[in-house]
Structure 1
Amino acid sequence: MITLDRHDGFREFVLARQQALMRTAYLLTGDAHLAEDLLQTVLVKVVGHWAKLSRSGNPEAYTRKALVNQYISWRRRERPELPSAVVPDRATGGDESALDRIVLRQALARLAPRQRAVIVLRFWEDLTEAQTADVLGCSVGTVKSQTHHALARLRVIAPELAHLLDDPEIVEVAGPV
């Protein structure tokens, strides 16, 4: 006799998608430990709805949306400390892309939670405007507006990243800034 557990497939889902979900959580929080906490909190919620989610056919979209919503909820309650170290203008003998990642991570931490979520979903998760709107529970127009404002804010707070933010593909997606 085969017994079906209401959590059948959850373990496999987590094992298959854990790295991608952790990356999203890290990009949202900017901190490895907070990202782990965020993902764990969300997975506890997801497992409670697993039977329905596994039947609906898109548990990853639900999980990604839950990550963003939980992150925004956390940020509303308290403002975490932001890194205060000043990054040098130029790397000395180091990898330029490593410096870019550090500066970008610090700049992302200074964005409003929804703006940060839009940037992460659009440019790291490579979601379309419609998919991003669905995850955030807003209109495509709001996604376009938030993207535009977030990129403009990044240009102000991290002008040293202009070479990344002036990519024609980003400008095309976000519109003129």
Structure 2
Amino acid sequence: MSDAESFHEYARSRLPMLARVAYLLTGDPFLADDLVQLTLLRLASRWEQVSATREPDAYVRRILYTQHVSWWRRVRREALPVDVLPERAAPDFSGDAVTALAVREALARLAPRQRAVLVLRYFEDLSETETAAVLGVAVGTVKSQTRDALARLRVIAPELSGSLAEVNR
């Protein structure tokens, strides 16, 4: 199989996962599509080296999260905050529309690093060590960001308190 064919096969198989994670990070389906496209474009330029490794998913996650961090650093200087976020039409990942909407709105109100840590830990089900490796931070930073993000969620989204209690177990 040629490199191009193997890349296309890999991209097709990982597209749903990448789209879901990108949406959870950005909170916007259009920005999520852009983030996935940029990630796949960067991956394609290095596919020959990446495909030789046994774990290309880790490399892809790293690209996705570093590109997202680059975006929010740029946007932080340009965007104006709003009190009420517009409702977005998106797939319901949890099966419970009310909870899914509350989770999306709550994630959107967190700091980008806290959001990334929660998405990696609880939606991608990565360990603290894996999360730290993806984000390029220490394990202690992951722990403190998780603690702070969950505490912030308790304040900004008290309706999720039952879900947060399950996370802490």
TM-score, scaled relative to structure 2? 0.87
Q: Percent identity?
A: 49
Instruction: Read off the aligned partner of 1:19 and give its amino acid letter.
Output: P
Deviation (angstroms), 1:7: 3.2
Q: What RMSD over aligned residues (CA atoms) do the two structures have, in Å?
A: 2.0
Other-structure match for 1:110 = 109
Q: Structure 1 unaligned runs (5+)?
A: 88-95, 173-177
Cα separation, 1, equivalents of 2:86 and 2:2: 52
Cα separation, 2, equivalents of 1:64 and 1:86: 28
8 A contact 1:83–1:106 mirrored in 2: no
Cα separation, 2, equivalents of 1:73 and 1:9: 28
Deviation (angstroms), 1:72: 1.1
Cα separation, 2, equivalents of 1:84 and 1:157: 12
Pairing 1:16–2:13 present: yes
Other-structure match for 2:91 = none
Other-structure match for 1:78 = 75
Against the structure 1 CA distance between its residues 128 and 100, is the aligned structure 2 distance closer, same or farther, given a 3 Å change threshold? same
Range 110-119 or range 97-106, more displaced: 97-106
In the TM superposition, 1:110-129 aligns within 5 A as 110-129=109-128
The number of residue pairs the alignment matches comes to 159
Against the structure 1 CA distance between its residues 119 and 36, is the aligned structure 2 distance closer, same or farther, given a 3 Å change threshold? same
Instruction: Read off the aligned partner of 2:129 and give its amino acid letter.
Output: A
Deviation (angstroms), 1:97: 2.5
Cα separation, 2, equivalents of 1:86 and 1:18: 26
8 A contact 2:99–2:160 mirrored in 1: yes
For residues 60-107 of structure 1, the C-alpha deviation after alignment (integer angstroms, 9 at most, x for no partner) is: 1111111111111101111456572599xxxxxxxx931111111011
More helix by share: 2
Against the structure 1 CA distance between its residues 107 and 82, is the aligned structure 2 distance closer, same or farther, given a 3 Å change threshold? farther
Other-structure match for 1:28 = 25
8 A contact 2:85–2:105 mirrored in 1: no
Other-structure match for 2:158 = 159
